Amino acid sequence: MAGALADIGVLDADPGLPANADDREAARARLAALADRAPQVFTPEVVTAAAQLVETVGGADELLDPLRRLALSRQEFAADVARAAVAALRRGPAVWAGRCIADLAGHVPVSLVDKPVCAALVRLAGEPVLDRFGRSRPNQANDPTGLQAVADLAPEVVVRVLREMLPAPFAGSSLLPSPAPRPRMVPALDRAAAAGAVRALAATHPDLAAGLVDALVLDLAAPPYDDYNDPARPAIERTLAV
C-alpha cells in the first residue's frame, strides 16, 4: 500500500511545480494495474481521500482511472467515484472522467447531469483536432461513451446543450421596434464539437440525433469563423452525410 500512496502523491503534486508527464503516466499505470489485480488492498480511507482530491482540488484527474477500475469490482466505492468524475467534468473535458461516467452511469444521480457536465462530454465526444497549420481534422481520440451514457440519463439536458452550441445565425428585422437580442457567440471549435457529438449519438440514440438535424442545417448558414479553415462547417457536413 505504501507504493500506492506514493503514486497518489505523484498525481497530487503541487500544481505550481513543474510536472513530469512520464512520471505521472507511470504512477497512473501502476495504480490502475493494482486496482485490477488486487482491489482489496485499497482501504476505504484511501479511496475516499483519492476521490476527494479529484473532486475538490483538481489537477489529479488521472486518479479517476484506477478509481474507476476499483469501483467496477467494489461497488461500495462507485457513488463516490461517480461524484468525483462529475466534479472533474464541471472543470472541463477530462478524459478519465468521461470513462467513469460511461462505466458508472447507474451511480450518477440525474440531478448532477447539468449543462457544464454535458458540455464537457460533448467536447470529449466530438471536438476535432487541429494540425500544425490550424486545419481541423476528425480526432481519433474522441470518446463518446460518456455522452452516450448521459443521453440515457438526461436526454433533455443533452439536447439543450447541443442546441446552444449550434445556434442559428442572427437575422435582424426592420419590423421590430427595438433591436432583437443577438444570440451568444459560440466558438467555431465548440460548434464543430457539437456536430461531431451528434454524429456519435446517431449510432446509439438515432431519434435524439435526428431531432437535431434542423439545428445543424441552420448553423451552416452562420458566417464562417475563417474563410479558409472553419472547423465547424466540415464537421457539420460530415454529420449531415451520416
Question: Looking at the predicted structure, is the pLDDT value of residue 179 above 50?
Answer: no
Distances (CA, A) of 221 to 167, 175, 216: 10, 22, 9
Question: Rounded to an integer, what distance in angstroms lies between the CA atom of residue 149 and that of residue 72?
Answer: 16
Which range, 107-121, 165-179, 222-236, is most confident? 107-121
Mean per-residue pLDDT, 27-56: 94
Evaluate whether 30 touches 9 at the Cβ level (below 8 Å). no
Question: Rounded to an integer, what distance in angstroms lies between the CA atom of residue 198 and that of residue 224?
Answer: 20
22 vs 222, residue with greater confidence: 22
Give helix 188-204 / helix 155-165 axis angle, nearest 10°: 140
Evaluate whether 78 touches 68 at the Cβ level (below 8 Å). no
H-only helix segments in the chain: 2-11, 21-37, 44-52, 64-73, 78-91, 95-103, 115-126, 145-153, 155-165, 188-204, 206-210, 213-219, 232-240
Mean per-residue pLDDT, 56-79: 93
Contacting residues for 13 by C-beta, under 8 A, at least 6 apart: 19, 24
Tell me 166's DSSP state. S
How much of the chain, in percent, has pLDDT values that exceed 90? 63
How would residue 77 be classed by pLDDT, with cut points 50, 70 and 90? very high
* Domain ranges within the chain, ordered by starting residue: 1-108, 110-129+136-167+186-242
* HSE of 164, CA atoms in CB hemisphere, 13 A: 12
**Across 74-83, 111-120, 184-193, least confident range:** 184-193
How would residue 226 be classed by pLDDT, with cut points 50, 70 and 90? low
Position of cell 482540488?
57
Question: Rounded to an integer, what distance in angstroms lies between the CA atom of residue 201 and that of residue 51?
Answer: 29
pLDDT tens digit string along 134-171? 666 777 789 999 999 999 999 999 999 999 999 887 65
Evaluate whether 86 touches 112 at the Cβ level (below 8 Å). yes
**Across 21-30, 89-98, 218-227, least confident range:** 218-227
How would residue 221 be classed by pLDDT, with cut points 50, 70 and 90? confident
pLDDT tens digit string along 197-211? 999 999 999 999 999
Question: Looking at the predicted structure, is the pLDDT value of residue 102 above 80?
Answer: yes
Question: Looking at the predicted structure, is the pLDDT value of residue 95 above 80?
Answer: yes
